[in-house]
Chains A and B, each alone.
Chain A
């Protein structure tokens, strides 16, 4: 690709108590690409995302070594985790509408960062809800509770919130497991649109989803990278590792 490296992961190791779950992986994520991460359960996909935005800190007895550099700055050594987390949008598998109004849900992050200007907040809310393909459905009831929305709407609200602090990197962790196919397609279209503005890491259990929207795909298995390459290679018969081919084709195991 020859594009600029946005995230540089080197020899990343993660262990819970004494059990190592990520065994020294190294890879790069390029600016403005969509990198899909696939792999069976327990392969360390979610843990990887937690390392990137340092929410791994909240898990007792988790020990991380190696380095993750975003724009050259090591996130594991940074003193200001709060600005780091604002640099990264994180979308969890299950939708989380905070028990606040729809407006406040999206305005939450800017407010925490100290923005209190009403116009500015209005702009952020409208802009993010539009980008998350939710604006048209909720623009007349921004005061109603975010938690009362349907599952698919809440997931788009979660995405709007993840965009509300204008992150450089967007991490999505199996965002589609709780929502219907139509909404999934809407969000996938949206992701393709916003990738010109940010770098996207998409953890997914749906191999086809990785194939549809990612530029490159990384196959993670038992805490090790089996293969990372462009989609043309991963989803073809030319994979370097036989396991990748078998997993992608659904004949793994």
Chain B
């Protein structure tokens, strides 16, 4: 193209064109990334501004008063914690162990292919369908009634496939040749999993589980059908107000009630409820991010 060696590094029209394309491509991608942040900032900003008159520690700890038009959200807050904790206590062990089986033990046969297919499809089922299933299975068939147990189990079934998937992903990130090295020296599969695979994937597994907290905290449909109520009278700041076979309030449900069912509620209260819900979820996600960063900094290979 260019016979003169002196001019090898000179900018030709072709180079300039490539540079222009590079700039255009980069600015488009950058613009899209920024556009993605904008709605988030707008939502958070709008919520906080609207909620500001009601936001206080008192709002978190107090119970709703005067037909929910005043007071706080403690029963809903503690109810959400009950539901999320119980559902994860059920779905995390089952999901993680199923993930370990599918990734470490399962051979490629028809049974495991069916299980895989079931997991993928279960993850795509809308939450309202999970809600109906929970209503039929736990509330009526298992006779748990509308209760925290029914609601938590419904949430557990909803989060299970995602926990299985994220566990498998975390396990798959441990290189195969580590396993082969262990098998070569006569380690069983379980010894390999316990000593090498799990210690090096536990961060990813935990992150996957924690991220499901935000999903179960935010869902309204499944708990509405199976165990959440509009209002339940409890003591202010009581840490153990509910029994597992009773119903409870929940933040997402409370927000829906305030916004659509209660007349004359002051505008800032639903917004403050949303802020609490959002803050709880973001706090939990932040924990997941911290764990992931810690694990990455200790990455051993």
Contact = CB atoms under 8 A, between A and B. Distances in A.
A3 interface: no
Given A99-B196, A108-B195, A112-B191, A58 B183 contact: yes
A164 B184 CA distance: 12
Given A60-B108, A99-B178, A165 B300 contact: no
A71 B195 CA distance: 32
Query: Which of A60, A82, A94 has the largest count of B CB atoms less than 10 A from its CB?
Result: A82
A112 B186 CA distance: 8
B180 interface: yes
Given A60-B108, A99-B200, A145-B300, A113 B178 contact: no
Nearest to A101: B300
Nearest to A60: B108
A82 B188 contact: yes
Interface in A188-232: none
Interface in B83-112: 107-108
Interface in B124-178: 177-178
A96 interface: yes
Contacts of B108: 60
Contacts of A100: 195-196, 300
B178 A98 contact: yes
Contacts of A109: 185-187
A85 B181 contact: no
A150 B191 CA distance: 27
A164 B180 contact: no
A110 to B, nearest CB: 9
A94 B108 CA distance: 27
A55 B177 CA distance: 12
A158 B183 CA distance: 13
B182 interface: yes
Given A99-B301, A147-B301, A108 B177 contact: no
A128 to B, nearest CB: 11
A122 to B, nearest CB: 18
A86 B186 CA distance: 5
B276 to A, nearest CB: 41
A176 interface: no
A38 B237 CA distance: 76
A94 B184 CA distance: 14
Given A92-B180, A147-B301, A158-B181, A98 B186 contact: no
A244 interface: no
Contact of A165 (B107, B186, B191, B199): B186
A97 interface: yes
Interface string A156-175: 00100110110000000000
Query: Which of A83, A85, A89 has the largest count of B CB atoms less than 10 A from its CB?
Result: A85
Interface string B29-47: 0000000000000000000
Contacts of A55: 180, 183-184
B231 to A, nearest CB: 53
Interface string B180-219: 1111111110010001100110000000000000000000
B183 A86 contact: no
A164 B185 contact: yes
A230 to B, nearest CB: 29
Contact of B181 (A83, A86, A98): A98
A96 B188 CA distance: 18
Contact of B184 (A60, A85, A113, A147): A85
23 contacts: A55-B180, A58-B183, A82-B186, A82-B187, A82-B188, A83-B186, A86-B185, A90-B184, A90-B185, A92-B180, A92-B181, A92-B184, A98-B178, A98-B181, A99-B178, A99-B196, A108-B195, A111-B195, A112-B188, A112-B195, A145-B300, A147-B301, A158-B181
Interface of A: 53, 55, 58, 60, 82-86, 89-90, 92, 94, 96-100, 108-109, 111-113, 145, 147, 158, 161-162, 164-165
Interface of B: 107-108, 177-178, 180-188, 191, 195-196, 199-200, 300-301
Given A92-B184, A112-B187, A113-B186, 20 more contacts: A55-B184, A82-B186, A82-B187, A85-B183, A85-B184, A85-B185, A86-B185, A89-B185, A92-B180, A92-B181, A96-B177, A96-B178, A98-B178, A98-B181, A108-B187, A109-B187, A112-B191, A145-B300, A147-B300, A161-B185
Instruction: Please name the 7 residue pairs, one residue from A and one from B, whose CB atoms are nearest each other, closest first.
Output: A99-B300, A109-B185, A86-B186, A85-B186, A90-B184, A147-B301, A96-B181
